[in-house]
Amino acid sequence: MSVAVMSAKPTAKPTPEFRAGGTDFSERRRSGVSQGMLIDISATGDKTITWDADGAARIGALTTIATIATDARIAAAYPGLAASAQGLATPQVRQVATLGGNLAQRSRCWYFRRADIDCLKKSGSTCPARSGNHLYGVAFDLGPCVAPHPSTMAAALLAYDASITTDRRSGLTIAGLLGDGSISHADHTLAAGEMIKSIALPAPLEGERASYKRAISRTYAEWPLVELCARVVIAGGKFELVRLAAGGVAPVPLRLTAVEAQLSGKIANAASIAEAAKAASSGAKPLPMTAYKLDLLQGLVRDVLERLSD
Amino acid sequence: MTTTTINGRPLALPDDPDALLIDVIRDGGLTGTKLVCGSGVCGACTVLLDGTPVVSCLLPAQAAAGKSLTTIEGVGAAGLHPVQKAFMAHDALQCGFCTPGFVVEAAAFHDSWRATRGAATPSREEIAAALSGHLCRCGAYEGIYRAVAEACSGRFDGIDPTAPRLEARDKVTGLARYTVDIHHDGQLEGVILRAHVAHARITGLDLAPARAIAGVAAVVPLLDDDNMVRFVGAPIAAVAAKDRRTALQAIAAISFKPEPLPAVIGLDAARRDDAPVVFEKKDRKRAGNVSEGAGGAPVSWKGNVRGPSAPFSQKAKRARSWLDEARQQRNPLLVEETFRVSTQQHASLEPHAAVARFDGDQLTVDISTQAIHESMEKIAKRYGLPHDKVRVIADHVGGGFGSKGSVGLETIAAIELARAAKAPVRVAFDREEELSVTGYRPAAELKLSLLPSAEGRLKALSLTAHADTGAAVNSLIAGLARLIYPAEAKELVDFDVLSNLPPGAPFRGPGGPPMSFALEQAVDEAALRMKVDPIQLRKLWDPDPNRQRLYDWAAGLDVWKNRKPAASQTGRYRRGVGVATGYWLYLWQTGSSVELAIKGGRIVASCAVQDIGTGTRSVIANTVAKAFDLEPQDVEVRIGRSNLPPGPGSGGSRVTASVVPPTLLAIDKLKAEIKRTASRTPAPGSNAPWREMIAASPDIAVSARRQEDGRPPPGVRPALHEAGIMGRVFGWVLRLMTHMVVGAGVPSSVQVMEVEVDTWLGHVRVLNAYTGLAVGKLAAPTLARSQAAGAVIQGIGYALYETRETDPSSGHILSGSMEDYRIPGIADMPKLDVHFDEAGFEHVPGGSVGIGEVATVPTSPAIANAIRDAIGVRLTEIPFRPDRLVAALKGRDAA
> In which band, very low, low, confident or very high, does the pLDDT at B396 lie, cut at 50, 70 and 90?
very high
Q: Answer yes or no: do B760 and B842 share one domain.
A: yes
Kindly report, residue by residue over B239-258, the tens digit of the pLDDT: 999 999 999 999 999 999 99
The total domain count for chain A is 2
Does B498 reside within a domain?
Answer: no
Handedness of CA B209, B215, B218, B220 (dihedral sign): negative
Does B622 reside within a domain?
Answer: yes
Mean pLDDT across the stretch B515-526?
Answer: 98
> In which band, very low, low, confident or very high, does the pLDDT at B570 lie, cut at 50, 70 and 90?
confident
Does A23 reside within a domain?
Answer: no
Mean pLDDT across the stretch B848-873?
Answer: 97
Phi, psi of B619 (to 5 degrees): -60, -45
pLDDT of residue B685: 80
Q: Answer yes or no: do B648 and B667 share one domain.
A: yes
Rounded to whole angstroms, how far apart are CA atoms B368 and B350?
8
Identify all chain A residues contacting B765, using CB atoms and an 8 Å cutoff. 219
Rounded to whole angstroms, how far apart are CA atoms B289 and B409?
14
Mean pLDDT across the stretch B80-105?
Answer: 98
Closest listed residue to residue A39, CA positions, set B18, B12, B67, B13: B18
Does B288 reside within a domain?
Answer: no
Rounded to whole angstroms, how far apart are CA atoms A73 and A71?
6
Phi, psi of B788 (to 5 degrees): -65, -45
| pLDDT over threshold 50, residue B188 | yes
Does B307 reside within a domain?
Answer: no
pLDDT of residue A15: 80
pLDDT of residue B891: 83
Containing domain of residue B821, as a range?
A: 526-585+743-889
Phi, psi of B209 (to 5 degrees): -60, -35
* B807–A132 C-beta distance less than 8 A: yes
Picking from B60, B249, B800, the nearest residue to A217 by CB comes out as B800
* B193–A133 C-beta distance less than 8 A: no
Chain A closest CA to B106's CA: distance in Å?
A: 12
The CATH number for B380's domain is 3.30.365.10
Rounded to whole angstroms, how far apart are CA atoms A221 and B621?
39
Identify all chain A residues contacting B17, using CB atoms and an 8 Å cutoff. 19, 38, 40
Q: Answer yes or no: do B809 and B844 share one domain.
A: yes
pLDDT of residue A10: 46
| pLDDT over threshold 50, residue A269 | yes
| pLDDT over threshold 50, residue A3 | no
pLDDT of residue A8: 41
Q: For residues B766, B770, B772 and B777, what is the CA-based torsion angle, rounded to 10 degrees? A: 110
Q: Answer yes or no: do B597 and B575 share one domain.
A: no
From chain A residues 177-196, the ones with a CB under 8 A of any chain B CB are none
| pLDDT over threshold 70, residue B873 | yes
Q: Answer yes or no: do A270 and A152 share one domain.
A: no
Mean pLDDT across the stretch A243-250?
Answer: 98
Kindly report, residue by residue over B531-558, the tens digit of the pLDDT: 999 999 999 999 999 999 999 999 999 9
| pLDDT over threshold 90, residue B590 | yes
Q: Of B381, B397, B428, which residue is a domain's last? A: B428
The 10 Å Cβ neighbour count of residue B280 is: 10
* A291–B192 C-beta distance less than 8 A: no
Chain A closest CA to B613's CA: distance in Å?
A: 25
Rounded to whole angstroms, how far apart are CA atoms A47 and A97?
12
Identify all chain A residues contacting B46, using CB atoms and an 8 Å cutoff. 92
Rounded to whole angstroms, how far apart are CA atoms B485 and B459?
10
Asked if residue B883 lies in contact with residue A299, where contact means CB atoms within 8 angstroms, the answer is no
Kindly report, residue by residue over B267-284, the tens digit of the pLDDT: 999 999 999 999 999 999
pLDDT of residue A276: 98
Q: Of B408, B428, B448, which residue is a domain's last? A: B428
Q: Answer yes or no: do B156 and B45 share one domain.
A: yes
Identify all chain B residues contacting A217, using CB atoms and an 8 Å cutoff. 763, 800-801, 822, 879, 881-882
Closest listed residue to residue A3, CA positions, set A25, A34, A24: A34
> In which band, very low, low, confident or very high, does the pLDDT at B895 lie, cut at 50, 70 and 90?
low
pLDDT of residue B683: 76
* B882–A292 C-beta distance less than 8 A: yes
The CATH number for B73's domain is 3.10.20.30
pLDDT of residue A9: 45
Q: Answer yes or no: do B137 and B206 share one domain.
A: no
Containing domain of residue A230, as a range?
A: 208-308
* A5–B254 C-beta distance less than 8 A: yes
Kindly write down the DSSP assignment for every residue of B126-143, as one continuous string: HHHHHTTT-B-SS--HHH
Closest listed residue to residue B751, CA positions, set B723, B717, B789, B716: B789
pLDDT of residue B235: 98
- % residues pLDDT > 90 (chain B): 95
Kindly report, residue by residue over B31-41, the tens digit of the pLDDT: 999 999 999 99
Does B59 reside within a domain?
Answer: yes
The total domain count for chain B is 4
* B248–A92 C-beta distance less than 8 A: no
Q: Answer yes or no: do A54 and A189 share one domain.
A: yes
Does B275 reside within a domain?
Answer: no
| pLDDT over threshold 70, residue A143 | yes
Identify all chain A residues contacting B14, using CB atoms and an 8 Å cutoff. none
Q: Answer yes or no: do B564 and B643 share one domain.
A: no
Give the residue from chain A lying closest to B234, CA to CA: A1
pLDDT of residue A2: 42
Give the residue from chain A lying closest to B56, CA to CA: A92
Q: Answer yes or no: do B232 and B376 share one domain.
A: yes
Mean pLDDT across the stretch A244-251?
Answer: 98
Picking from B60, B248, B765, the nearest residue to A2 by CB comes out as B248
Identify all chain B residues contacting A70, using CB atoms and an 8 Å cutoff. none
pTM exceeds 0.95: yes
Identify all chain B residues contacting A108, using CB atoms and an 8 Å cutoff. 819
> In which band, very low, low, confident or very high, does the pLDDT at B681 lie, cut at 50, 70 and 90?
confident
- Identify whether B10 is preceded by a cis peptide bond (ω within 30 of 0): no
Asked if residue B757 lies in contact with residue B885, where contact means CB atoms within 8 angstroms, the answer is yes
Q: Answer yes or no: do A194 and A269 share one domain.
A: no
Q: Pick the more confident residue, B893 or B358.
A: B358
Q: Of A201, A229, A263, which residue is a domain's last? A: A201
Helix (H) or strand (E) holding A60: strand A57-60
Identify all chain B residues contacting A42, using CB atoms and an 8 Å cutoff. 60, 63
Q: Answer yes or no: do A196 and A53 share one domain.
A: yes
Kindly report, residue by residue over B649-679, the tens digit of the pLDDT: 999 999 999 999 999 999 999 999 999 998 8
pLDDT of residue B894: 62
Mean pLDDT across the stretch B610-625?
Answer: 97
Counting Cα atoms < 13 Å in the Cβ hemisphere of B219 gives 25
Partner B contacted by A209 (CB < 8 A): no
B-interface mutation test, from A38, A42, A90, A96, most B Cβ less than 10 A away? A90
pLDDT of residue B242: 98
Q: Answer yes or no: do A161 and A75 share one domain.
A: yes
| pLDDT over threshold 70, residue B892 | no
Q: Answer yes or no: do A167 and A232 share one domain.
A: no
Identify all chain A residues contacting B64, using CB atoms and an 8 Å cutoff. none
Cβ–Cβ pairs < 8 A, chains A and B: 200
pLDDT of residue B106: 98
Q: Answer yes or no: do B245 and B156 share one domain.
A: no
Rounded to whole angstroms, how far apart are CA atoms A39 and A33?
16
The CATH number for A280's domain is 3.30.390.50
pLDDT of residue B293: 60
pLDDT of residue A4: 37
From chain A residues 226-285, the ones with a CB under 8 A of any chain B CB are none
Sort strands B489-498 and B362-367 into parallel, antiparallel or unpaired: unpaired
Does A13 reside within a domain?
Answer: no
Picking from B59, B60, B882, the nearest residue to A217 by CB comes out as B882
- % residues pLDDT > 70 (chain A): 96
Q: Answer yes or no: do A86 and A226 share one domain.
A: no
Q: Answer yes or no: do A257 and A179 share one domain.
A: no
Closest listed residue to residue B521, CA positions, set B310, B787, B340: B340
Sort strands B288-289 and B255-260 into parallel, antiparallel or unpaired: unpaired
Mean pLDDT across the stretch A109-117?
Answer: 95
Q: Answer yes or no: do A96 and A176 share one domain.
A: yes
Closest listed residue to residue B654, CA positions, set B723, B565, B724, B585: B585
Q: Answer yes or no: do B703 and B599 share one domain.
A: yes
Q: Answer yes or no: do A80 and A226 share one domain.
A: no
Q: Answer yes or no: do A222 and A252 share one domain.
A: yes
* B436–A1 C-beta distance less than 8 A: yes
Chain A closest CA to B197's CA: distance in Å?
A: 10
| pLDDT over threshold 60, residue A12 | no
Picking from A8, A42, A95, the nearest residue to B53 by CB comes out as A95
* B436–A2 C-beta distance less than 8 A: no
Would the ipTM clear 0.90, i.e. be above it? yes
Q: Answer yes or no: do A196 and A226 share one domain.
A: no
Rounded to whole angstroms, how far apart are CA atoms A249 and A296?
10
| pLDDT over threshold 70, residue B136 | yes
